[in-house]
Amino acid sequence: MGGRTGAALLVLGIWLASAPPAQAATGTPGPGSYAYDPDARTVAAAQGTGEAAALAPAHSYRSTLTGKGPVYFRLDLDGTSNAYVSATAVPPANAEVSASDGLKVSVQDADGRSCSYDTELFGASRSPRPLTAWGARETGRSGRSACRSAGVYYVVVERAGRSAVTASAPQPWALELTAATEPPLAGPGPTRAPEAWDSASAAPPSGTPASRPAGAGFATAPLVGDGVWQTAVRPGQTLYYKVPVDWGQRLSATAELGSTAERGDYTAGALELALFNPVRGPVTDVGVGYDGTQKSAALPPVPPVAYRNRYSVRDAVGAMRFAGSYYLVVHLAARVADRLGPGALPLTLRVRVDGEPQAGPDYAGRSSPGDLFRATGGNGGGGTSGDPLLRGVAVGGIGTGTLLLAVLGGWTVLARRRAGQMRARAQNPTA
């Protein structure tokens, strides 16, 4: 075994041994459940800017979205870094939602001017599930003079849709929030979006699926890569996977819901597949109906990851602006249980990552978190492309628990062998 691979095994073994249970293993999420970051800090949601709690980069937070009005959080920013914030709202599993209900996140400066806003809706499925929206304060976007200076900014999180106004006693929604910063470039960089890119749909990979249980949230999403992956999904469940995507690489994915022995009434928007970028910003999504006959949902094509994508007027292109762990999120509408029962259905995920990794931009500093824009799978230290073992873990579907057992087993055999040799030498010193 080479020294680099042996060192990688040692580091991986130590990390797994010390990792929280939710990071070392991911259980099957139940309908309506969400796995929060176990290291998340709890903050109060303020009803006004005066009491807004600060969100620091590289941390996750838990809070609550209650009442009809917006809630506020604070960002203290310098005048050079781009800042990103995401909010995931988790309504109760029995919440009544309409297609036009959803979540809105905006970032505002101290004078109330909007730096960005994003609204995500439940859509045709009308199924309560975690919704994630993002906001940004960008310093280098051409044509925008506001929101470039250092100072205090506010993250505004609120419900969208008619029920947010008409409900007399709305149910509280739990919140998970993250904040991150991106340093400026060390020198002049691109200022325009790519003029053209191959928008043809990539052929999904074929072959025998490998079993890969999903996570129940961003923090517990297991790694997948090029290949065909299989699990099961129940009505009301939301499944999370993460895919390392480097600079210059392009991601495509298709989710396939298997057929059942029985046929039921058609459920609009029953299966939804969504893609999120490393700061949990929505990129694109697709939904299909289901009546018990096998269906597939393929993400609309997205461009290769490039810094210059951020200058595009198309949201799906602009969101593909940095390398790192992208997230595939699959939801099966709760109403499918009314038509076909609550049983689990077979789900196949076909993932393709095309293109050779390219050199990234020359940043004048580090992001926060420090490994956020590196295709490492989110566990820190080096990329997966350089070490064959770690690349196998990232894209070959080797379970981390299985790998750890193999490593520990190898160490145990080696230790016993050495102990036996020492006993033999003690009994026969001249041997």
Report residue 114's pLDDT band, with 50, 70 and 90 as the boundaries. Answer: very high
Parallel, antiparallel or unpaired: strands 210-211 and 227-233:
parallel
Q: What is the largest CA-CA distance in the chain?
A: 91
The rounded mean pLDDT for the chain is 83
Report residue 164's pLDDT band, with 50, 70 and 90 as the boundaries. Answer: low
Q: Which residues are within 8 A (CB) of 367 and not within 5 positions of it... i.e. 6 or more apart?
A: 180, 181, 182, 183, 373
What is the average pLDDT across 267-296? 96
Distance, CA of 103 to CA of 121 (rounded, Å): 6
Write down the pTM of the prediction: 0.82
What is the average pLDDT across 135-164? 84
- Selected from 3.40.50.300, 3.40.50.2000, 3.40.50.720, 2.60.120.380, the CATH number assigned to the domain covering 32-182 reads 2.60.120.380
The two domains 32-182 and 188-397 share their CATH topology (first three levels equal): yes
Distance, CA of 149 to CA of 138 (rounded, Å): 10
Q: Classify residue 172 by its DSSP letter.
A: P
More confident residue, 223 or 5: 223
Q: Collapse the DSSP code of 125 into the 3-class scheme (helix H, G, I; strand E, B; otherwise coil) and give the result.
A: helix
Write out the two tokens for 152: 């205090």
Quick check: 423 pLDDT over 60?
Answer: no
Residue 369: asked if its preceding bond is cis (omega within 30°), the reply is yes
Report residue 359's pLDDT band, with 50, 70 and 90 as the boundaries. Answer: very high
Range name among 28-32, 102-106, 402-406 with the lowest pLDDT average: 402-406
Write out the two tokens for 185: 């470039």
What is the average pLDDT across 289-316? 95
Domain locations in the chain as residue ranges: 32-182, 188-397, 399-431
CATH number of 188-397: 2.60.120.380
What is the average pLDDT across 90-118? 94
Quick check: 63 pLDDT over 50?
Answer: yes
More confident residue, 420 or 109: 109
* Angle (deg, nearest 10), helices 3-18 and 388-396: 50
Q: Collapse the DSSP code of 197 into the 3-class scheme (helix H, G, I; strand E, B; otherwise coil) and give the result.
A: coil
Q: Classify residue 46 by its DSSP letter.
A: B
pLDDT at 21: 36
Q: Collapse the DSSP code of 103 into the 3-class scheme (helix H, G, I; strand E, B; otherwise coil) and give the result.
A: strand
Distance, CA of 416 to CA of 108 (rounded, Å): 63
What is the average pLDDT across 267-286? 97
**Burial (CB count within 10 angstroms: exposed 0-12, middle 13-18, buried 19+), residue 421:** exposed
pLDDT at 166: 62
Q: Collapse the DSSP code of 62 into the 3-class scheme (helix H, G, I; strand E, B; otherwise coil) and give the result.
A: strand
